[in-house]
Amino acid sequence: MFKKVSIIGAGAVGSTLTFHLFSRSHFKEIALVDIADGLAKGVSLDIEDSRSFFDSTAQIIGTDDFCAIADSDIVVVTAGVARKDGMTRHDLLKINAKVAKDISSHIKKHASKSILIVVTNPLDLITGIFAKETGFERNRVFGMGSSLDSARLLNILHQETKISTSVLEAFVFGLHNNDMIVSRDRMRVKGETINKFLDEEAIKRVQNKTAHRGGEIISFLKNRSANFAPSYSIFRLIEAISKNKNEIIPVCALLKGEYGLTDVCVGVPCIINSKGIEKVVELTLGEEEKIKLRKIQDSINEINNV
């Protein structure tokens, strides 16, 4: 049923994702599109040369022509500028909002029935632009951000507790920026609360480190941002969709009254299957979580008015 995936943006995240898809998935066709002259073609030829290692029969097209995304089942947008050291997500908004509007028109024209996964930052705002510009139903347009933040949290929890991630349960929701909600109530070890395993100081360290992980990585890389964990997070989302897994994954979804928020895109746990978002899961929130979520509508309105 799911035969074709297109990736728009052949930079660090887009090219790594394309490699994951080519090497491990069952898609017949992968299209990689980038406006940079020759980039998508070069990347696709390089990836294609690994065919014999995976015995892959997938067809891969790299091009600057958006016609290549025609009839995609899933489109992933990783195009735009990545945050560099010293750049805020707000600085990014001005540049990437324009890119999002341009790409939306191509998606509407060539792949109007696809499920659209947005990756470009600032994620929550750019997902909102894609939702508005494409007019897709909300189950078909959402962003990847909180699942990456959750993966980061699990890694950092492992570092602190030394316990295998297979028995750690944790997820992050809210915005995909430093104000993300890293709640202790969402961290468990085999069902037990986290304060049985970590003291107060360590829990705060985990929360703080998770919220600033993206910036920490950029401070070392300087001129680019994270790539490996992000592209694998997208890959897992594509698998949940194409294999109709009904997995609960936090994605940046357009809310319609859930959590008291309307017409804003925020990372919340959702049931993901072949329809995209099957259902937004409404968590029973603690007091701290409620306060943080309430602030979201204000902060998004504030940014939109800049």
- Listed in sequence order, the residues at least 6 apart from 242 whose beta carbon sits closer than 8 Å to its beta carbon are 1, 2, 25, 26, 27, 73, 74, 274
Q: Which token pair is 76?
A: 């992933």
x-or-dash string of contact with ligand NAI, 146-165, rule CB under 6 A: --x-----------------
Q: Determine, following the binding rule CB under 6 A, whether residue 96 of this chain makes contact with ligand NAI.
A: yes
Residue 289 backbone dihedrals phi, psi, to 5 degrees: -65, -40
Report the amino acid identity of residue 93.
L
Q: State the Cα–Cα distance between residues 244 and 234, nearest whole angstrom.
A: 15
Per CB under 6 A, the list member of 23, 29, 35, 283 interacting with ligand NAI is 35
226-245 positions binding ligand NAI, by CB under 6 A = 226-227, 230
Q: Determine, following the binding rule CB under 6 A, whether residue 225 of this chain makes contact with ligand NAI.
A: yes
Per CB under 6 A, the list member of 7, 60, 82, 107 interacting with ligand NAI is 82
Q: 6 or 139: whose CB is closer to ligand NAI? A: 6
Residue 237: which of 217, 252, 215 has the closest Cα?
Answer: 252
Per CB under 6 A, the list member of 11, 250, 269, 276 interacting with ligand NAI is 11
Per CB under 6 A, the list member of 43, 61, 103, 211 interacting with ligand NAI is 103
176 is catalytic: yes
Q: Determine, following the binding rule CB under 6 A, whether residue 114 of this chain makes contact with ligand NAI.
A: no
Q: 8 or 255: whose CB is closer to ligand NAI? A: 8
The secondary structure of 211-272, three-state, reads HCHHHHHHHHHCCCCCCHHHHHHHHHHHHHHHCCCCEEEEEEEEEECHHHCEEEEEEEEEEE
Q: Determine, following the binding rule CB under 6 A, whether residue 174 of this chain makes contact with ligand NAI.
A: no
- Total number of residues binding ligand NAI (CB under 6 A)? 35
Residue 243: which of 274, 211, 204 has the closest Cα?
Answer: 274
Least separation in angstroms between residue 278's CB and ligand NAI is 21
Q: Determine, following the binding rule CB under 6 A, whether residue 267 of this chain makes contact with ligand NAI.
A: no
Binding range to ligand NAI, per CB under 6 A, among 21-29, 34-42, 200-208, 265-273: 34-42
Binding range to ligand NAI, per CB under 6 A, among 68-76, 80-88, 183-191, 194-202: 80-88
From residue 71, alpha-carbon distances to 43, 67, 110, 134, 294 in Å are 22, 9, 7, 15, 39
> Under a CB-based contact definition with an 8 Å cutoff, are residues 187 and 53 in contact?
no
Q: Determine, following the binding rule CB under 6 A, whether residue 79 of this chain makes contact with ligand NAI.
A: yes
Least separation in angstroms between residue 292's CB and ligand NAI is 19
Binding range to ligand NAI, per CB under 6 A, among 46-54, 157-165, 201-209, 221-229: 221-229
Q: Determine, following the binding rule CB under 6 A, whether residue 14 of this chain makes contact with ligand NAI.
A: yes
Binding site for ligand NAI (CB under 6 A): 8-14, 33-36, 39, 78-83, 96, 99, 102-103, 119-121, 123, 144-145, 148, 176, 224-227, 230
Q: Where in the sequence numbering do the catalytic residues fall?
A: 176
